[in-house]
């Protein structure tokens, strides 16, 4: 791919993004948006390919959103690889790559936020108070800037997907939200830009997330376990056996509200097993839907 192809697709200002989308609209093309924070991997590329298959014009945003990080060190450590990202995105079917600066998105005096409450205060929002406020605000801004017909989000971040669906309903964005399945490494680890920060030993240890979730799914589907405590206890057991892993949360949740099932409550097909686990210094999240028939690793190959 030539640098000319990349630079003609790359928009760094909101005005440039408007221009690219305006031309596509004038040509009667539907617009798909894939919001990302960059360091693109196969998980992101699966969203871009799907967007390209379903729309006439695809915008991929690459923006490490400072206001969704509670932990300054995590923000600073987040990889920035815009040249490679733009090439990968275009190769997967993106027509425009919107990579604004923080100043472009949040100029001096910026003070309007989307604050949802409820679902955003649980799980990933419980320990990180500003996280979903930052996510909703940046996604809301991207929706206004790009005005897509469809926007693509991964089930890897299932709570985020549910939050965005609710925001779109609550605030009447005329946008269809498309959820896409989690793409995994051959050993089951969900692909994530943060995986690159794991040492070799931590990378091996990180497999415990998939093992714990698979065990919950197995108990539900094959042994008829229906108590929330039995399933979360089994997941905690798997995680505890891995010395490099420290669980932040281990829950079975209602798939709409993401409220945790109480330990004594029954769980149902469609509920989700949710994990946040620190492996070394890296925080990883993953989740799986509980189904009557069990998903196996072979399903991901
Ligand atoms: P991020 O760059 O991590 O903010 O992710 C951007 C989008 O890609 C979000 O909608 C994520 O849910 C999605 N995504 C990240 N990792 C994966 C994965 N392994 N499989 C599918 N989607 C993913």
Model confidence over 55-81: pLDDT tens digits?
A: 999 999 999 999 999 988 889 989 889
| pLDDT > 90? residue 48 | yes
Residue whose entry in the numeric block shows the structure tokens 């399945």: 181
The reply to whether ligand 1 has any atom less than 6 angstroms from the CB of 180 is yes
72 versus 11: the higher-pLDDT residue is: 11
Q: What angle do CA 179, 193, 249 make, to 5 degrees?
A: 70
Contact yes or no for 182/296 (Cβ under 8 A): no
If we measure between CA atoms, which residue out of 286, 254, 272, 268 comes closest to residue 224?
Answer: 268
Tokens of 194: 């943060």
pLDDT for 249 equals 98
Choosing from 44, 144, 278, 300, the catalytic residue is 44
At 294 the pLDDT is: 73
Indicate if ligand 1 lies below 6 Å from the C-beta of 89: no
Residue 1 has pLDDT above 90, yes or no: no
Coil, strand or helix: which one is 78? coil
The string of pLDDT tens digits covering residues 130-175 is: 999 999 999 999 999 999 999 999 999 999 999 999 999 999 999 9
Reply yes or no on whether 144 is catalytic: no
Best residue among 34, 47, 68, 151 to mutate for probing ligand 1, ranked by most atoms within 8 Å of CB: 47
Q: CB neighbours (10 Å) of residue 52?
A: 19
The whole-number pLDDT of residue 295 equals 61
Please name each of the domains of the chain with its CATH number: 3-180 (3.40.50.620), 193-293 (3.30.1300.10)
pLDDT in tens, 172-214: 999 999 999 999 999 999 999 999 999 999 999 999 999 999 9
Residue 246: predicted pLDDT: 98
Tokens, residue 196: 């690159």
Record the tokens describing residue 200, joined without a space.
Answer: 């070799």
Determine whether the shortest distance from the Cβ of 95 to ligand 1 is under 6 A: no
- Nearest 10 degrees: CA dihedral of 162, 126, 286, 275? -130
pLDDT digits (tens, 9 = 90+) for 218-272: 999 999 999 999 999 999 999 999 999 999 999 999 999 999 999 999 999 999 9
- From the CA of 3, how far away is ligand 1's center (Å)? 26
Task: Output the residue whose Cα is nearest ligand 1's atom 5.
Answer: 36
**What distance in Å separates the CA atoms of residue 45 and residue 32, rounded to the nearest whole number?**
14
């Amino acid at each position: 791919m030539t640098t000319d192809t990349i630079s003609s697709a790359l928009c760094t200002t909101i005005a440039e993004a408007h221009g690219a989308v305006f031309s596509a609209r004038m040509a009667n093309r539907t617009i798909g948006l894939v919001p990302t924070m960059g360091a693109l991997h196969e998980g992101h590329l699966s969203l871009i390919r799907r967007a390209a298959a379903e729309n006439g014009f695809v915008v991929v945003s690459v923006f490490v959103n400072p206001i969704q990080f509670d932990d300054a060190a995590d923000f600073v450590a987040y990889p920035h690889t815009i040249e490679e990202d733009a090439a990968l995105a275009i190769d997967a079917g993106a027509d425009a790559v919107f990579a604004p600066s923080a100043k472009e998105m949040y100029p001096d005096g910026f003070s309007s936020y989307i604050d949802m409450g409820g679902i955003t205060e649980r799980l990933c929002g419980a320990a990180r108070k500003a996280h979903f406020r930052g996510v909703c605000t940046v996604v809301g801004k991207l929706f206004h800037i790009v005005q897509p017909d469809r926007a693509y989000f991964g089930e890897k971040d299932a709570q985020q997907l549910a939050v965005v669906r609710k925001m779109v309903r609550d605030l009447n964005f005329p946008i269809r939200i498309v959820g896409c399945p989690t793409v995994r490494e051959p050993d089951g680890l969900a692909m994530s830009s943060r995986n690159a920060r794991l040492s070799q030993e931590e990378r091996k240890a990180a497999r415990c997330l998939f093992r714990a979730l698979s065990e919950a799914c197995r108990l539900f589907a094959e042994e008829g376990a229906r108590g929330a405590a039995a399933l979360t206890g089994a997941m905690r057991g798997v995680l505890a056996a891995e010395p490099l892993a420290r669980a932040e949360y281990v829950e079975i949740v209602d798939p709409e509200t993401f409220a945790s099932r109480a330990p004594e409550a029954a769980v149902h097909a469609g509920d989700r097993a949710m994990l946040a686990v620190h492996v070394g210094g890296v925080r990883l999240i993953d989740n799986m839907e509980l189904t009557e028939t069990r998903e196996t690793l072979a399903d991901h190959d």
